[in-house]
Amino acid sequence: MEFLDALSQQLGPGAVIHPGEGMASYLTERRGLFADRPVRAVLRPADSAGVAATVRMCAQQGVAIVPQGGNTGLCGGAAATDGGEAIILSLERLNRIRAVDADNFSLTAEAGCRLSAVQAAAAAVDRLFPLSYAAEGDCQIGGNLATNAGGMNVLRYGNARDLTLGLEVVLADGRIWNGLRALRKDNSGYDLKDLFIGAEGTLGIITAATLKLFPAIRERATAIVGLESAESAVALFGILRAESGDTVTSCELMGRQPLAFAIDYAEGCVEPLPAAYPWYLLIELTSSGHEVQLGRRLERALSAAPAGIGDYRIADNADEAAAFWRLRNGIPGAQKGAGASVKNDISVPVADMPGFIDAAGAVVRDACPGVRVCAFGHIGDGNIHFNLTRPETMDDADFLAEWDELTQQVHDVVMTYNGSFAAEHGVGQLKPGEVSRLKDPVEQDLMRRLKSALDPAGRLNPGKVVPPAED
Ligand SMILES: Cc1cc2nc3c(=O)[nH]c(=O)nc-3n(C[C@H](O)[C@H](O)[C@H](O)COP(=O)(O)OP(=O)(O)OC[C@H]3O[C@@H](n4cnc5c(N)ncnc54)[C@H](O)[C@@H]3O)c2cc1C
């Protein structure tokens, strides 16, 4: 029996999608850089045993596996590489919340649960699961862990790795590792879960996770501030963090250019302040306490803020706060309205951010006169999306032809600050070349050894993350 027929029999009806049978949504890719790569089939097991059976049969047949969650990744990790011989293993049917333990502040969810469903399960027991960002209605918790996703609340709660207590993983040989421990302390050996978090499906397939919960948010204060410089943004962030009892949960930087794109092209986005500023900070303080008066704290800190801080507005109500967030969340989509963009997801130490923005800006303007720098993102984590939108007079295709050259030049500046060229979106099939070019050779060697120890035949998401060894 052909192996897909055998799998179909084992996994049950609806679990195998063949080419031409409604596969399109699994082959889309957000940036259109790796879309429509053919595969042999999309496999949709319904539980961990089904994932294990799929992996075992693929191993026997020598078939490569591309794990796929919500397919919102931005580096082509969930798309096949060229060749058409791989299968996509979709986790979407593993979508049960297995357990919620309010007293232990933990929750166990299957990999295919959407992030918004995990947040809702926590909220239902008056708890918070703090991972949050614009794609939360589409991405899955397994994908979030596989990419070690960041988002809006990292500076207060950490990234996906920091929110994980335990994992269940299907290994390359089809065995299931049950590491679903809900412990805060466990030094009984190597912390294996950390190998799979951020590995983008190259070391194992995450089928479930036990996650940390926090007290629910009772009070929130949101403000948008106009600034003369990125230096003022860093200074203000420091002051707010120190003066607010460490209640700063989000601190998002937006240049005037991306804000203008949001106002021009994203629905429901309007000018937030009477005058325009070169930079804006969107700040949110939150507290689980009652009557903490965060709005007053924010007002006090902003009114005593140093030079370079312009006008500001503290949201009067949830609708106004949502309007500020709409500006921030509207930027990635709005950029498309202004033409093709080259994307950079970088991090440097927070204090170096202004220097990086100046230096990288000078480099790209020199390389591509008229390029529109569209810098925005999580400045509180030292992570911004240093995106570049094509010059108004340039053709999209001509601009995209410069992708490698422009990103390499930006990454070279990042490296002078000892930063990262892949801060939160990962490597996927977009950046293995940069891993090879920029990462310490010892680190690369360790990555290859880990890969060959856990996936000796190289069938889990081949061509992603780990660059091939040089001859
Ligand atoms: C509008 C928008 C905003 C975004 N904002 C942010 C942001 O603020 N912060 C951020 O970090 N990211 C952001 N992203 C990127 C993306 O949402 C994240 O990378 C997310 O974690 C991917 O989850 P997913 O379920 O869609 O995974 P997919 O895209 O399906 O897969 C991503 C990678 O993980 C692997 N994978 C998926 N599921 C599993 C599994 N169960 N086991 C093993 N490997 C698996 C895939 O093979 C692939 O390599 C944004 C994306 C969009 C579209």
Q: Is a pLDDT exceeding 90 seen at residue 291?
A: no
Which tens digit of pLDDT belongs to each residue from 223-266?
999 999 999 999 999 999 988 888 999 999 999 999 999 999 99
User: Helix 230-243 and helix 353-367: axis angle, to 10°?
Assistant: 160
Q: Is a pLDDT exceeding 90 seen at residue 431?
A: yes
Q: Is a pLDDT exceeding 80 seen at residue 412?
A: yes
Q: Is a pLDDT exceeding 60 seen at residue 59?
A: yes
CB 179 within 8 A of CB 166: yes
CB 275 within 8 A of CB 179: no
Whether the domain at 3-90 and the domain at 217-336 fall into the same CATH topology: no
Domain parsing of the chain, residue ranges: 3-90, 97-215, 217-336, 339-433
Pull the structure tokens for residue 423.
Answer: 């801060």
- Nearest atom (ligand 1) to Cα of 91: 41
Mean pLDDT on 4-30 = 93
Tell me, which fold does domain 97-215 have in CATH? 3.30.465
In 3D space, the residue among 268, 380, 393 whose CA is nearest the CA of residue 323 turns out to be: 268
Residue 181: what pLDDT? 96
- Nearest atom (ligand 1) to Cα of 69: 30
Alpha carbon distances (Å) from 292 to 85, 154, 241, 250, 423? 58, 22, 16, 18, 33
The number of CA neighbours under 13 Å toward the Cβ of 155 is 25
Question: Which residues surround ligand 1 with Cβ inside 6 Å?
Answer: 30, 66-74, 77-78, 91, 111, 133-135, 139-140, 142-144, 146-147, 149-151, 200-201, 205-206, 332, 424-425, 428, 461, 464
- Nearest atom (ligand 1) to Cα of 142: 41
CA-angle at 423, arms to 419 and 428, nearest 5°: 125
Average pLDDT of the chain, as a whole number: 95
The number of CA neighbours under 13 Å toward the Cβ of 163 is 33
Q: Does domain 339-433 have CATH number 3.10.350.10?
A: no
Q: Residue 123 and residue 118: Cα distance in Å, rounded? A: 9
205-212, strands of its sheet edge to edge: 97-101, 106-110, 205-212, 164-170, 176-179
Percent of the chain with pLDDT over 90: 91
Spacing, Cα 72 to ligand 1 middle (Å): 5
3-class secondary structure, 76: coil
Pocket test for ligand 1, best of 25, 28, 48, 72 (most atoms within 8 A of CB): 72
Which tens digit of pLDDT belongs to each residue from 77-134?
999 998 889 999 999 999 999 999 999 999 999 999 999 999 999 999 999 999 999 9
Residue 464: what pLDDT? 98
Q: Does domain 217-336 have CATH number 3.30.70.2190?
A: yes
Which tens digit of pLDDT belongs to each residue from 275-286?
999 999 999 999
Q: Does domain 3-90 have CATH number 3.30.43.10?
A: yes
Residue 1: what pLDDT? 56
Residue 470: what pLDDT? 74
Which tens digit of pLDDT belongs to each residue from 366-405?
999 999 999 999 999 999 999 999 999 999 999 999 999 9
Spacing, Cα 186 to ligand 1 middle (Å): 28
Residue 338: what pLDDT? 94
The amino acid sitting at 24 is A
Spacing, Cα 110 to ligand 1 middle (Å): 15
Q: Is a pLDDT exceeding 70 seen at residue 471?
A: no
Pocket test for ligand 1, best of 34, 81, 95, 147 (most atoms within 8 A of CB): 147
- Nearest atom (ligand 1) to Cα of 150: 11
Residue 2: what pLDDT? 87
